[in-house]
Amino acid sequence: MSEVQTSLLEQKCVGNGLEKIKALNNVHLLNLIHKYVEHCNPDSVYVCDDSDEDKQYIRNRAIELGEERQLKLEGHTIHYDGPKDQARDKAATKYLLKPDTDLGASLNSTDREEGLKEVHGFLKDIMAGKQLYVLFFCLGPTNSEFSIPCVQLTDSTYVAHSEYILYRRGYNEFKKKGNTSDYFKFIHSAGALENNVSKNVDKRRVYIDLEDQIVYSTNTQYAGNTVGLKKLALRLAINKASREGWLAEHMMLTSIHDGKGRKSYFAGAFPSACGKTSTAMLPGEKIVGDDIAYLRKINGSLNAANVESGIFGIIRDVNPDDDPIIWNALSNPGEVILSNILTDSKGNVFWLGDDREIPDKGINFSGEWTKDKKDAKGNPIPHAHKNARYTVSLYALENLDSGLDNPEGVQLSGIIYGGRDSEIWPPVRQAFDWAHGVVTMGASLESETTAATLGQEGVRQFSPMANLDFVSIPLGRYIQNHLDFVNGIDNPPAIYAVNYFLKDSDGRFLTGMHAKRVWIKWIELRANNDVEVIETPIGFIPKYEDLRGLFKSVLNQDYTEAQYIEQFTIKVAANLDKIARIKEIYTSKVPDAPKALFDALDAQVEKLNSAQATYGDMITPQQLA
C-alpha cells in the first residue's frame, strides 16, 4: 500500500475510519476503497463496522439529510424514490462482457470496456459535496458455508439504512477472511438529487462485472436497483454458484407445521410480485425468508439458507385480515422504512388497499400530491404506488422460524414454483420426479408482468425458475445445474407447482387470497406421504376429499366439487400450446439448452397427446381417478 493511497483516505475518512479499514488487513479492499474515493470524490468518508453506533449514525443521517422523514409511529420513516424510479429497470441493467464471452440472447449485456467507461464517466466526481459510506455485510448466515462477505460503497443513507435492516453485519466476517479478493463489491451513487430524489434517471445504470464481482449502480434510488446485497448480489451469486456447485435462487423459505409437532421446510420461487412474501407469511406457519435463498448439498441433504435477514415487501393491500403480522409491524413502534406511499402533514401513512380514508392532499412518490393530480399523460396519480414497499427486520416478526441463522441452513422437504398464470396450470400439483419438475415446472414457468419492474403490466413472459432477471450464466447451463443438483442427495425434495392466479372466463380470480394456505398444507401432507394423489398427464393432483377437508379445517370454508372440477380440470390444448411456446424459446434463444430439457418436454407432449386421444381436450379429475 503506497503512501499516496493512505494519505487520501486519511484526509477524507471521518474519525477512525481508516483504522477500521486497515484492521481488516485486506490490501485488495483498501485499494478498492481508495480507487472509488478518488474517483467519486466525496467530501468525506464514513466507515461502518458492526457496531450499533454506526448503524445509528446512518439512520440519524438519513433523517438529517431528508432522505428519510420521521413518521408518527416511533422508529418509522418514509423514503421516496422519484416518479420514474419506482421499480427495477431491466433495460438499464446489463452484464459487462468481454468480446469472447456470450450469455445468450435472453440476457442483457454490453461490451465490458465500453460499459466500464460509460459508468465510470457517470461516477466521476459524482459524490462531490456528499459523504461516502463504506459498509460491510454478509450474505447468508455468518460463520457458515453459505456466507459471502460484501462491501457496499454508497452516497445514499437510505441504501445504507436499508441494508442494515435487511442483512447481517459483515465487518467481522471480513476480518476473518483476511487478504482475499473473493467478496462482492457494490458501488452506488444516487447521483445529483432534487427534492431528495435522483435527478438524472436518464443516466440510471446497473452494470454487473462478473469478472471482478462488482456491480455499479448510478442515478437511481429504488432498492431493487441500488441495495447491493439484494438483486445485484443475486446476479453475482448465480455465477459464483455455477462455478462452485450450488444454487442461488429467487426463493422464499418457510416451515409448515402439522399441528402435532412435525415441521417441514419448503422453498418457493415466484417471480416479482407473485406471492413469495405472502406465502412465507402464512398464519400459523413460520418464515425463514421471503426473497432470495442459497441452496447447498450438505451431508446428503438439500439445505437452504436465507441470504437476507429482513423483508423488502410490497405494501399494497397489506391489511389486518390477510397479513396480520405485517400489519402489526406496520402499526406499532419499531424500525421500519416505508417507501412511496402517501403521508399527511401529521406523519400518518396511506397505501393502496388499506381501507383508510385518504386525505385530499399530502406527499407521495410524485411529490406534493392532491386528489385531482394528473401525470404528464393526463392520467390520475394514485395516492400510493403499486410497488410501494416496507423494509423491516425479520427479527422483529413474531413468526420468525428458529432456522434463520443455522450455519447449515434448513433441510428442504419440497420446492415450489409458481407464477401469474390466469389460464393454464391448476392451483397445485406435484411433479413425477426431479427432472419432470425442473423442466416442466421450473424451466417452463411463464408469468404475467407486474409493477415490480418498469414497463407494461400483465404481459405473459417466460420466467424460468422465477429467476431469469438475475441469471448471469448461459441459460442452458443454469437449467443443467438444476438438473444435476439432485445427484448426491439421498431423499431429494419433491417439486410442486402452484398457481394462485387462475381466472374464470370473466376475468375473476377462481381462488381467494387464503386458498394458498390449503395448497401449502396439502403439499406438507404430500411431502410426508400422508395423502394420496390422482395421476394426470402433467403431474399428481390432490383428491377432492382431501381438499374439502383442508378447506374446512384450515379456512372453515365449504369447498364444492364443482369448484374442484373447475380448478383442477386439465386443459390439454392450452398445456400443449404452452409447451410449444417454451420449446420455441429454448430452441431459438438458448443455444446450450440441455437435451434432457427437450426430452422431458417431448415426454410431456406425448403424455398430453395420448390423454387427449382417450379423454378429449378437457380432462376432469374424475376421469383419471
Active site residues: 274
Q: Are strands 69-70 and 76-79 parallel, antiparallel or unpaired?
A: antiparallel
Q: Of 57, 136, 158, 270, which one interacts with ligand GTP (CB under 6 A)?
A: 270
Nearer to ligand GTP (CB atom), residue 420 or residue 583: 420
Q: What does the per-residue mask of binding to ligand SPV show for 266-285, with x meaning CB under 6 A? A: ------x-------------
Q: What is the largest CA-CA distance in the chain?
A: 81
Q: Which residues of 169-188 are buried (b: 16+ CB within 10 A; e: fewer)?
A: bbbbbbbebeeeeebbbbbb
Shortest gap between Cβ of 223 and ligand SPV (angstroms)?
5
**β-bridge partners, 198:** 193
C-alpha 495 chain-centroid distance = 20
- Establish if 311 lies at the interface with ligand SPV (CB under 6 A): no
What does each C-alpha distance from 622 to 214, 234, 566 come to in angstroms?
55, 43, 12
How would you classify the pairing of strands 336-339 and 76-79? parallel
With CB under 6 A as the contact rule, the residue among 369, 500, 559, 568 that binds ligand GTP is: 500
Nearer to ligand SPV by Cβ, of 205 and 230: the residue is 230
* Residue (137 or 312) nearer to ligand SPV, CB: 312
Residue 231 binding ligand SPV, by CB under 6 A:
yes
Query: 6 by DSSP, 3-state: which?
Result: helix
278 binds, among Mn ion, ligand SPV, ligand GTP, none (CB under 5 to 8 A by kind): ligand GTP
Q: What is the nearest approach in angstroms of Mn ion to the Cβ of residue 278?
A: 8
Residue 239 or 277: which CB sits closer to ligand GTP? 277
Q: Is 452 in the site for ligand SPV (CB under 6 A)?
A: yes
Compute the C-alpha angle 324/326/332, nearest 5°.
Answer: 95
The secondary structure element, H or E, covering residue 35 is: helix 27-40
- Residue window 292-321: x/- pattern of binding to Mn ion, with contact defined by CB under 5 A: ---------------------x--------
Q: Is 418 in the site for ligand GTP (CB under 6 A)?
A: no
The reply on whether position 254 binds Mn ion by CB under 5 A is no
Q: Categorise residue 612: left if φ over 0, alpha if ψ from -120 to 50, beta otherwise.
A: alpha
Q: How far, in Å, are 279, 422, 567 from residue 448 at the CA level?
A: 18, 8, 19
Q: Which does 513 bind (CB under 5 to 8 A by kind): ligand GTP, ligand SPV, Mn ion, none?
A: ligand GTP
In the complex with ligand SPV, the residue whose CB is nearer, 457 or 532, is 457
Interface residue with ligand SPV, options 123, 159, 160, 223 (CB under 6 A): 223
Residue 291 touches ligand GTP, criterion: CB under 6 A: yes
Q: Which of 513, 534, 565, 618 binds ligand GTP (CB under 6 A)?
A: 513
Other C-beta atoms closer than 10 Å to the C-beta of 91 total 10
Provide the residue type at 456 as one letter: Q
End-to-end, the C-alpha distance of the chain in Å comes to: 73
d(CA 268, CA 306): 12
Grid coordinates representing 46 are 464514513
All 3 cell numbers of residue 45?
468518508
Instruction: Give the residue with the Cβ less far from Mn ion, 271 or 492.
Output: 271
174 binds ligand GTP (CB under 6 A): no
Amino acid at 325: I
- Residue 295 Cβ, how far from ligand SPV at the closest point, in Å? 18
Helix (H) or strand (E) holding 77: strand 76-79
- Does 88 contact ligand SPV by CB under 6 A? yes
275 binds, among Mn ion, ligand GTP, ligand SPV, none (CB under 5 to 8 A by kind): ligand GTP
| CB of 336 closer than 8 Å to CB of 76 | yes
- Answer for the pair 412, 302: CB distance below 8 angstroms, yes or no: yes
Does residue 221 contact residue 106 with C-beta atoms inside 8 Å? no
509 binding ligand GTP? (CB under 6 A)? yes
Cα 361 to its chain centre, rounded Å, is: 33
Among 309-317, 408-416, 530-538, 606-614, the segment contacting ligand GTP (CB under 6 A): 309-317
- Closest approach of Cβ 190 to ligand SPV, in Å? 16
Q: Is 277 in the site for Mn ion (CB under 5 A)?
A: yes
| Selected range binding ligand GTP among 273-281, 328-336, 533-541, 577-585, rule: CB under 6 A | 273-281
Smallest distance from Mn ion to CB 270, Å: 9
CB of residue 291 to ligand SPV, shortest distance in Å: 5
Residue 529 CB partners (closer than 8 Å, separation 6+) = none
Q: Which residues contact 388 (CB under 8 A, 6 or more apart)?
A: 86, 314, 315, 316, 338, 339, 340, 341, 351, 352, 365
In angstroms, the CA 266 to CA 274 distance is 17
Cβ nearer to ligand GTP, comparing 120 with 503: 503
Size of the site for ligand SPV (CB under 6 A): 9
88 binds, among Mn ion, ligand SPV, ligand GTP, none (CB under 5 to 8 A by kind): ligand SPV
223 vs 525, beta carbon nearer ligand GTP: 223
Residue 315's identity, in one-letter code, is I
Transcribe 495-518 into DSSP letters. EEEE-S--B-TTS-BSS-TTHHHH
Cell of 420: 401469474
Nearest-approach distance from CB 273 to ligand SPV, in angstroms: 7
- Binding segment toward ligand GTP, per CB under 6 A, in 111-119, 314-322, 524-532, 533-541: 314-322
- From the list 117-125, 142-150, 225-233, 276-284, the region that binds ligand GTP by CB under 6 A is 276-284
Core vs surface per residue 462-487: b (16+ CB within 10 A) or e:
bbbbbbbbbbbbbbbbbbbbbbebbe
Between 123 and 468, CB nearer to Mn ion = 468
Contact between 308 and ligand SPV (CB under 6 A)? no
Which residues form the interface with ligand GTP (CB under 6 A)?
270, 272-278, 290-291, 313-314, 316-317, 452, 500-501, 509, 513, 516
Residues that bind ligand SPV (CB under 6 A): 88, 223-224, 230-231, 272, 291, 312, 452
Residues binding Mn ion (CB under 5 A): 276-277, 313
